[in-house]
Amino acid sequence: MSRASWDAALRRALAAVVLLLSGCPAGSRRQAAAWESLGREDLAVFREALLEDEVARHPELAQATRYRLALKVADSLTEVTGRLRVRYTNRGHKPLAAIPFFLFPNLTTGALEVQSVQAGGVDLPTQLERQGSLLEVTLPAPLAPGQDTEVSLQYRLRVPSSEEGESEGFALGGGVLSLAYAYPIIPAEPSTAAERPMPVPYGDFQFAEASFYLVALDYPGNLVLAAPGAELDRRRAGARVQVLVALGPARDFYLALGRDLVSQTARRGAVEVRSYAPKGAEEGSRLALGTAVSALKDFEHRFGPYPYRRLTLVSVPFSSLGLEFPGLVMVARRLYDLGRSYDGIPARVLLEATTAHEIAHQWFYAMVGSDQLLEPWIDESAAQYATWLYYRDRYGESAAQGFLDSLEQRWARVGRAEIPLGRPVRAYSPREYSAIIYGRGPLFLRALSERMGEEHFDSFLRELCARYEWQLVTGSEVLAAAEASCSCELDDLWAQWVGTPESQAARN
């Protein structure tokens, strides 16, 4: 679609939304109407969240999965009712008899209970597997390659409450409702979903393809929303607020709602950066915001443009340091206590490094996808390496040395053992995972840069981002791309650091 016709389509779609919103008396009905009216071909509303017309740049996105999600958060904040209508196109080469849905909350002390699954008004047979974390929905007839279908699910979330530092991202704690992976998610490569390794708490949980999200939220009006994407509509309905958000292409959709969240805003070019933190943590929030602006500038220069009009940062009680989502970065709340130290490292240092690392994931994970369970080194090593670049570009070589030393120290925690990078998360112990994936991984990329020459290596990263934007890349494709960039053989270095990719065995 040309730029002009795309803009016209956007205007038509928004006009339709505005018309529907103004035509009905009750706020909830108005929003429901807008949500219902968006047809399967209509991707124009997502243009609001984007700087460039990604669908025109990548026509294959026209077949991407559409999630239409309606979430109603109870006043208690521990219960959420959800309605999902998902339009799915079989982009594989074989007919698909069932669609799997990943139900992350069932791996926590909370729950996602599916109440009904339908297609065309008819109930579909379902089966829960893998500790309730996988729902297999049998289709009325196998979905042929290239064919699409729409499935509707009704569900209820029970949100676990957590104290500071104990949350996996799906929890209510410290006055913040954090909804990570809190809807039924169709994993990438759906036909293999039942055979894939189970996620473990110290790794990422998700392996998903770029999709489109239209999310209607209904929540208590005393809460502040921190979400990615574009707000298409917002209105008050008595004591509640109703918001319509669009995001896509994106591999996931995260949101947080907090009682005392305060936001600070800055701009980097055309991107609005918003940092949310609780009252009293303004200084930390400002530090995260400044880091984000610098990191965006650096990574755009090095890897290519950031795709969204907005980047959201939010401080949430969380057991790890941070977590990446498309258009949004979650950072552990304890890092905003700038006077404290953790394992001898000042919170201020951890907050800056974590923010830069999670922002690097906007390129390595959000845009260039990879299998975060089978080949976690791809996005994590790249995000760590990018963090080193951030320090180098912002503060100079000697300041960056401190971060490099921290990578060496991480690896030293397993005695610098040459454990291959190319293993699935589950194959590592938690200690090994931290040391190898976050320590040895970025050191490998540094060794690769030395072998290829920094100029070739830098253009390899840029080309990788351009070539695999909104797609999935495997370790062997990363190797092929690197060899193409330097016109050299890298097998020996790969064997020494990455090893034989076990993921290939798992794929075959």
Residue ranges in contact with Zn ion by CB under 5 A: 380, 383
CB of 322 to Zn ion, least distance (A): 7
Smaller CB distance to Zn ion: residue 298 or 380? 380
The first and second tokens of residue 115, run together, are 């109440």
Give phi and psi for 214, each to the nearest 5: -120, 115
Smaller CB distance to Zn ion: residue 16 or 332? 332
Smaller CB distance to Zn ion: residue 232 or 386? 386
CB of 383 to Zn ion, least distance (A): 5
Smaller CB distance to Zn ion: residue 71 or 461? 461
CB of 376 to Zn ion, least distance (A): 9
Smaller CB distance to Zn ion: residue 343 or 489? 343
Would you call 14 exposed, middle or buried from its count of C-beta atoms within 10 A (0-12, 13-18, 19+)?
A: middle
CA distance 412 to 435: 7
* DSSP β-ladder status, 255-258 and 240-250: unpaired
CA distance 384 to 442: 6
Beta bridge partners of 340: none
Q: DSSP H helical segments within 331-440, as ranges?
A: 347-360, 377-395, 397-412, 430-432
Smaller CB distance to Zn ion: residue 155 or 254? 254
User: Nearest-CA neighbor of 55 among 230, 286, 307?
Assistant: 307
CB of 180 to Zn ion, least distance (A): 14
CB of 431 to Zn ion, least distance (A): 17
Name the residue whose CB lies closest to Zn ion.
383
CB of 193 to Zn ion, least distance (A): 23
347 to each of 69, 350, 391, how far by Cα in Å?
36, 5, 16
CB of 381 to Zn ion, least distance (A): 9
Smaller CB distance to Zn ion: residue 324 or 469? 324
Kind and range of the H or E run holding 291: helix 282-303
CB of 379 to Zn ion, least distance (A): 7
Smaller CB distance to Zn ion: residue 112 or 353? 353
Smaller CB distance to Zn ion: residue 67 or 428? 428
CB of 498 to Zn ion, least distance (A): 18
299 to each of 118, 313, 462, how far by Cα in Å?
43, 17, 10
Who's near 302: CB < 8 A, 6+ residues apart?
386, 389, 393, 458, 461, 462
Specify the 3-state DSSP secondary structure of 132: coil
Percentages (nearest 5) of helix, strand, coil residues in the chain:
40, 30, 30
56-81 core/surface letters (b: 16 or more CB in 10 A; e: else): eeeeebeebbbbbbbbbbeeebbebe
